Every structure is written in C-alpha cells, then in structure tokens.
Amino acid sequence: MINLPISLTLYTTTKGHFGYKDCIKHTVNHLKDIAEGCFTSEFAHIKTCEGEEGEKTRQEMTDFLEGKNINVLSTTKDWNRKRNNHAIEYFADMETMMNNNDVHQNRFIFFHEDDWIINTDKKLIQLLQDGIKLLNQNKEILCIRVNADIDKDTSKATNIGNDIFLQNENYTPYGPTITFQPTLMRTRDWYAAVRAINRSKLRLTQHCELLTGYFMKSIFSDSITPFAFFDPNVINATHIGSEEFAKENSNVLL
C-alpha cells in the first residue's frame, strides 16, 4: 500500500448542518472506502459550541473519528452565520489545524469539509499522484480542487493533462480563485496564507473564498491563473450539507 505525502485536514462542527449532526459520518465512511493509501496522516478539527450539548456531540464525534484512526483537534467557540462571524471562526480553526506540527510531516494537505462526498470511477490515489506530480513540476500552480458535481463545465478552463484543468482568467465573474471543495495544496503555502489572513483586517469584510484566493496568489504565484482542478467528468464531489439532505437522512442509522 502506497502512502502519499499528504495530510488529510478535515473540518467539522458540533452544530452540524440544519440540525443534522451526522454529515461527518457519511463523509468519512465514504472517504475511507475510496482513499486507501492516499494519506500518510489524517486529522480532523471539531468546532465545539452550544454548551453542554455541544460537548456531548464533540465527544461522540471524537469517538467516531478516532475509531477511524483520525487524529482529532478541537476548539470551543460559538459562531453564527447571522452574526457574520462564521468565516472568522473558520479561519481560526484552519490556523489551529495548520499549527499542528504533525500536519507538516507531509509536504501536501488535502483540505476537506465534512459535507462533501467524492465521486470517481478512477482510483483516488492515482488522481492525487498526478496532482502531486503537477505541483512538484510547476511552483506557480497553487492547488488542484475537486469540483462540485453541478459544476462540470470546462469551457472556461485549459486542459493541462492527466485529468487536470487550469482555471482561465474568466473562470468566474471574480476571476480564478480557491473554493472550499476538497482541494490538494502544498502544506506550507496554506499554512502561510491562513496565518496572513488571520492577521489581516480584510477577513472582516471580504468573502472567505475570494480572500483565500487573493492571499494564495499574491504571496506565492506570479501567474495570472494559478488555480487548477481535476476533470469534473472524472472526479467530482456532491454537497450533502443541504437542508434537503438533512431532512432525508435524519433517521438514517450509520
């Protein structure tokens, strides 16, 4: 079994999604089925909130994750989308994760939220190997993302080989950027960018994903188009953090 030089960095919260707290189980169970040999180390961060109930949920999540051989980090702080502090707390979680020395034992990370299910008929390890090869060959490329399954259009992208595309200048109305689907990145790049964001007043006013794209690009690349993604017709991800998914799965035994 090959273990790639990648640390899995997984983010979750005791709030769950629309009151549904088991998205993390769906995501991890599915990832374990497809990711054999992909990660040398695996970590999860749990944002704990909601008082005693949150602590109970955190312990249940911890038991589940540690039972899957995933190392668990946790911080306690309430957050609320209506108060617009969700992004600020999320960036704090990212720095907690990236301050962990064990994460840095691997040159790459695979950023992953708790509500994405990866779909592919290829072996994930082969795709990630191709991604590592590209990042090693071209320092100007900063990440390779797994697109959402509803975003398979590659007309505003350039095929650069081995099931990988480059976001062109008009890829989004805001230009090329990072979004928080599952993403392969260099560990030191992401560590430095997150630290810089947490020390910038821009985090108080700017959209979190556009902000990460801005900082990654301005610090690490002279390229106008430094962000890549895997061919979404080969590998993509389904978002399960929706209200509809929560209602349909609230009684599912995992």
> What are the pLDDT digits (tens) for 96-134?
999 999 999 999 999 999 999 999 999 999 999 999 999
Distance separating alpha carbons of residues 30 and 33, to the nearest angstrom: 5
Domain range holding 25? Answer: 6-249
pLDDT for 205 beyond 90: no
In a domain, 50, yes or no: yes
Tokens representing residue 238 in the block: 């389904």
Please check whether residue 254 lies inside any domain of the structure. Answer: no
- State the residue for tokens 């962000």: 227
Q: Is residue 123 part of a domain?
A: yes
Cβ-Cβ contacts under 8 Å for 61 (sequence gap 6 or more): 12, 14, 21, 24, 46, 72
Determine the pLDDT at residue 84.
52
User: Does residue 128 lie within any of the structural domains?
Assistant: yes
Total-model pTM: 0.94
Burial of 196 (0-12, 13-18, 19+ CB in 10 A): middle
Q: Which amino acid is at 226?
A: P
Q: Considering the domain boundaries, does residue 30 fall inside one?
A: yes
Domain CATH number, residue 156: 3.90.550.10
- Is 204's pLDDT higher than 90? no
Question: For residues 249 and 231, which has the higher predicted lDDT (pLDDT)?
Answer: 231
- Encode pLDDT of 42-96 as tens digits: 999 999 987 878 899 999 999 999 999 999 999 988 766 555 567 788 889 999 9
Number of domains in the chain: 1
Average pLDDT on 169-198 reads: 93
Task: Give a yes or no: residue 1 inside a domain.
Answer: no
Angle, helix 187-198 to helix 208-220, in steps of 10 degrees: 120
Residue 165 lies in a domain: yes
Percent of the chain whose predicted confidence (pLDDT) is above 70: 96
152 in any annotated domain = yes
204 or 61, greater pLDDT: 61
